[in-house]
């Protein structure tokens, strides 16, 4: 089974080797037929502390690294 890769924006880089990434998904509401935006925050492992707040990044799921971290930073999108 392939690993999921998500794109999001870094909202916090205060922790050592960890970034918090906000991922937004859009879908059509089943009854109202209106486009809905939902966001979720993921804690991702950033080995070299390269990502800064506001950067667009890609994260990939991995084995659990800690209580909250099950994602790892893959690369940063060119902004």
Q: What is the pLDDT of residues 17-53, one digit of tens each?
A: 999 999 999 999 999 999 999 999 999 999 999 999 9
The pLDDT score that the predictor gives to residue 79 is: 53
Domains, in order of start, for the chain: 5-74 (2.40.50.140)
3-class DSSP assignment, residue 29 = coil
Residues above pLDDT 70, as percent of the chain: 97
Dig out the tokens for 71 from the structure: 């994602």
């Amino acid at each position: 089974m392939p690993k999921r890769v998500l794109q999001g924006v870094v909202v916090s880089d205060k922790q050592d080797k960890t970034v918090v990434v906000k991922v937004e998904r859009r879908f059509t509401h089943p009854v109202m037929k209106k486009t809905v935006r939902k966001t979720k925050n993921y804690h991702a492992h950033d080995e070299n502390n390269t990502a800064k707040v506001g950067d667009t990044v890609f994260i990939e799921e991995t084995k659990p690294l800690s209580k909250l971290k099950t994602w790892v930073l893959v690369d940063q999108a060119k902004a």
